Structure 1
Amino acid sequence: MTTITPFAAGSYIANRNATQLLSLKGELNDLSTQLATGQTAQTYGKLGTGRSTALGAQATISALTGYAAGISAAKTRTDLAVASLTQVAAMGTNAKTVLNNGLQSTPINTIASTNAAMANLSSALDSLNQSAAGSYMFGGKNVSTQPVAGADMILSGTTDSTGQPIAGLKTLITEQIQADLGTKGLGRLTQTAPGGTTPNNETLGLNQIALADDTYAGATTQFGYALTGAATATGSFLMSGYTPPTASTPSSTKLSLTAQPKVGDSVTLSLKLPDGTMASVTLTAATTADSTSTTSFAVGSDIPTTTTNLSQALTRALGSSAGSTLMANAAGRAAQNFFAASASAGTTPNRIVTDTTSGRPTGYVTGAASKTVVWYQGESGAGDSDARATQTVQVSATSSIAVGSRANETPIQNVLAGLATVAFGMPATSNVNVGATYQAIASKANSLLASADTSPSVQDIVTNLSLASAGLTNAATTNTATQNTIQNTLDGIEQAPTEVVATKLLDLQSRLQASYQITASLSKLSLVNYLS
């Protein structure tokens, strides 16, 4: 009789026992592996229904880890930027304080203000080159290029490879002051004394004084003082006329004394500066007047003598005003012009064009980069409003925080220009007009230094970046909490608790040992053994 082995008598029980033993052996191997690795399974496929949740959790944790790295780097950069700009704002505020305190003793504090401004300007420029891990913070989108040229180069200029000079800030301020004051130091005004001949070939009487703008066409609106109308006077001793400018002639005014002024009567001349602001010169009639006075003139024995005295006093007053108010204005304008330039935007500081024949300034032209230092080398956008957006940090799947900044934002430019105005515009203590000049410099510089803490200000930028830093901290805290929660869920799926695995392993070992013993006993069973 033929027997089919798999279906032979007793074969099913034998196969079943073998399968059960192999299954228990497989469980033993799995539990041993879990005990050794701490993992529920070595492949996602063996996680069963939890594999989809585990895969999703791993992806989320990976993304959160990436966000954490970006947040950490951005937090360091942002905090350093806040510290740097806080220092710049403090320098501007400190400079204002020093200037205002110096008004009490200008000859002494002229030197103190100049030295403090120069030191602060150099330090501010260095602060704007701050970097973190080789990444510059004040260059906008360009984080690999040093955004600000070296302080020495900016202030004093340099030379090219052929030894030709490249002008720095100090040179531009000096050029602007010289162009505004003119060779006679009267703000490019031409004064004709009584009995003289005006630039228009008009002969004056002994009771007349004439003033005219710079006689070079087009120069009056860009350099020096510009006449805005006739002189005004108290009392009835003066008659003054005004001739507005034409395409070929400058504006002019003529002062004619028709009677002797009374003591206390005054003459006032209004003057316009190139930036549109106004200045005025006032002279008051007195019985006697010092020969150096810039505020009064002596009433003479007759009208011609009084007119001469007025003319001489007017010359001194114009020189004093030009050497203080106009000079301070020129220094401030030159500094603003310099710091408005940007290499990345393709702009360079405007340079003065001079007529080769007359030597008079005729206007401005954009300076060649090979002739003038361009202080800002970073990325330059359309304006201050997008500076923060030049660098953003992704803090979650749906949100980001803007942490960018540029060294050439307007408030920063103004503070730098204010410091430069003091550093290079302040007069020497030997200047006879030092008091008035100090006050004029202080007034012009303070209007620029106000950008340190008066909105829109450097302090506003500090506040924005501080808020961004706080936002990064909050995002990091939220992400950490989320990551911990997801990690706990993932651990519940992937991790095999040692205590549980050990218990299961001992139980399985006991069952497997019992199965082996029973199987071994059954394998020795026979009819003889059974009957015995």
Structure 2
Amino acid sequence: MTTIAPFAAGSYATSRSTSQLLALKSQLNDLTTQLGTGLTAQSYGGLGTGRSAALSAQASISALDGYSAVIDTAQTRAKLATTSMTQVVTVASNAAAALQNGLQSSPAGSQAVKATALNNFSAAIDALNQSDGIIFLFGGRDGTTAPVLDTNTILYGTVDANGNTLAGLKTLVDDQVKADLGTGLNGRLTQTTTGTAVTLTEDTTAQAVSPAGPFGFTIQSVGSSNPAALAPVTNLAAPASSTVTVAAQPSDGDTLTFTLGMPGGGSTTVTLTASKSTGAVASGTFSIGADVATTTANLSAALSSALQNTAAPALSANATARASQNFFTGSAKGNVVPERITFTGSVPSYTPGTATNTVLWYRGDDSGGDPRATQTIQVGSSSSVQLGVRANEAPIRSVLAGLATVALGIPANSATSSAYAAVAAQAAPLLAAGNTGSSVQDIVTDLSLASARMSSAASTNTSQKSTLQDTVDGIEQASTEEVATKLLELQNRLQASYQITASLSKLSLTNYLS
């Protein structure tokens, strides 16, 4: 009799028993793996319906890890940039304080102030070339190259690769001083004496310059304490002039006050005092002569000397400050070249500078717009922080111009008190850009706020990541206690199944009947 194996008596029960044993063995293997790895499954396919949530959460965690890495790098940059800008604020404050202190000391101390200003200028330049090892921080969108040239090149110029001589700030200052003082070193005023009248006239060539303003002094007014004797008449129509007629002998102590405007704003005064002394007279005084003609000659000589003594400190300091501000408008990538002064004989005029004759101190990005927006840091899925800075922002340029005004404006020899005071008056408003008005301190504040926002974003990201990780762990991680319990139960069941199967395998008809 032939038997078909699959349908033989008892074959189904045997097959079923075998399948159950294999299933139990497979469950045992799975539980053993879970206990060893701590994972519910070795692939997302094994997670069942939880795999979509796990994949979504893992993607969010990866994004948060990316934001954290960016924030860590950006925080380093923010701290370095803040430190650098704080240094600029500090050197500006120190320079301003040293200037004010110097007003109370002897002129010989001016050289220490001059040297300190030069050192502070170099320190500010170094701060503006700060790098985090990856990019330069103060070049706006361009962080690949140092945004600012070195101190020596900025101040004293260089020769480029093509052999062109590029003028530095010192050359621009010297040209401006020369143009403002004029050949007579009196602020380009023309002085004539006719009979008993002394006339001052503005330089007509010096008025025909725009928009930089005139060279030298302009005449604003002339006042007399005794108009009956010293009678001034002023005509302010360009070119302005003023004539002082010695109508009678002045009295001892009578004064004439000339108010003279300076380029770019501001004014200074020249005061002459009549003296009955017949000997040598002090600066700013003129002797009352034996007659009106002699007094007129004495007045003319005193005015000529006083104009030179006033122009030397006041106009030189003014010219140094203006030339410095003009120089720091330069930008290589912005195609901005400072105006230059050229001389036709003794007549100066402003002409456009070129990149082949003038140092362009700033080499970074200058594409316009908000400097902070030149570096945007993504710190979250819908939040960003702006961390850009340009070394040629207006407050920074003002501080550099102020430091340069002190370093180049104070004469190399011991300055007179008037020269020192003139430099201090011109430099102080520029140095104030370190911490007043629209200032470098404002940049420090912007960077500090950006750093605080990044710290807040980092904390938020950490909290979000922790929540998402809990979700992932709940899906992917297997509970050790639960797995161990299931494993023990399964082992007991499997052992019992093996024992029953072993017993059944030994069963025979004889054993069964007995």
Classify the TM-score, shorter chain: over 0.9
Structure 2 residue identity aligned to 1:416: L
What CA deviation, in whole Å up to 9, does each residue of 1:189-242 have, x standing for no partner? Answer: 1112x2xxxxxxxxx22x11111222426447421112235x221222233333
Structure 2 residue identity aligned to 1:490: V
Question: Does the aligned pair in 2 maintain the 1:106–1:438 contact within 8 Å?
Answer: no
Percent identity over the alignment is: 53
Matched, 1:391 2:350: no
| Mapping for residues 419-458 of structure 1, pairs under 5 Å | 419-430=403-414, 434-458=416-440
| Mapping for residues 128-527 of structure 1, pairs under 5 Å | 128-161=128-161, 163-192=163-192, 194=193, 204-205=194-195, 207-216=196-205, 218-219=207-208, 221-229=213-221, 231-236=222-227, 237-245=229-237, 250-288=239-277, 293-355=282-344, 358-362=345-349, 364-382=350-368, 386-430=370-414, 434-527=416-509
Unaligned runs of 5+ in 2: none
TM-score (norm 2): 0.94
Secondary structure of residue in 2 paired with 1:507: helix
Distance 1:466 1:117 in 2: 27
Distance 2:442 2:204 in 1: 46
Distance 1:53 1:164 in 2: 67
Runs of 4 or more consecutive aligned structure 1 residues displaced over 6 Å after TM superposition: 1-4
Structure 1 residue identity aligned to 2:346: G
Question: Does the aligned pair in 2 maintain the 1:57–1:490 contact within 8 Å?
Answer: yes
Secondary structure of residue in 2 paired with 1:42: coil
CA gap of 1:105–1:275, structure 2 versus 1, over 3 A, is same
Question: Does the aligned pair in 1 maintain the 2:110–2:414 contact within 8 Å?
Answer: no
Distance 1:485 1:460 in 2: 38
Considering only aligned residues, what root-mean-square deviation do their CA atoms show, in Å? 2.0
Q: CA deviation at 1:425?
A: 0.4
Distance 2:149 2:279 in 1: 50
What CA deviation, in whole Å up to 9, does each residue of 1:358-416 have, x standing for no partner? Answer: 23102x22211111111111111436xx1111111111111111111111111111111
Aligned match of 2:44 = 44
Distance 1:310 1:515 in 2: 132
Secondary structure of residue in 2 paired with 1:228: strand
Distance 1:258 1:5 in 2: 150
Distance 1:317 1:508 in 2: 112
Q: CA deviation at 1:426?
A: 0.4
Structure 2 residue identity aligned to 1:482: Q
Secondary structure of residue in 1 paired with 2:381: coil
Question: Does the aligned pair in 2 maintain the 1:381–1:387 contact within 8 Å?
Answer: no
Distance 1:116 1:328 in 2: 18
TM-score (norm 1): 0.91
Question: Does the aligned pair in 1 maintain the 2:24–2:490 contact within 8 Å?
Answer: yes
What CA deviation, in whole Å up to 9, does each residue of 1:68-123 have, x standing for no partner? Answer: 00000000000001111111110000001111111112412210110000000011
CA gap of 1:439–1:179, structure 2 versus 1, over 3 A, is same
Q: CA deviation at 1:430?
A: 4.7
Unaligned runs of 5+ in 1: 195-203
Structure 1 residue identity aligned to 2:230: L
Matched, 1:108 2:108: yes
Structure 1 residue identity aligned to 2:419: T
Aligned match of 1:200 = none
Moved more, 327-336 or 270-279: 270-279
Question: Does the aligned pair in 2 maintain the 1:107–1:429 contact within 8 Å?
Answer: no
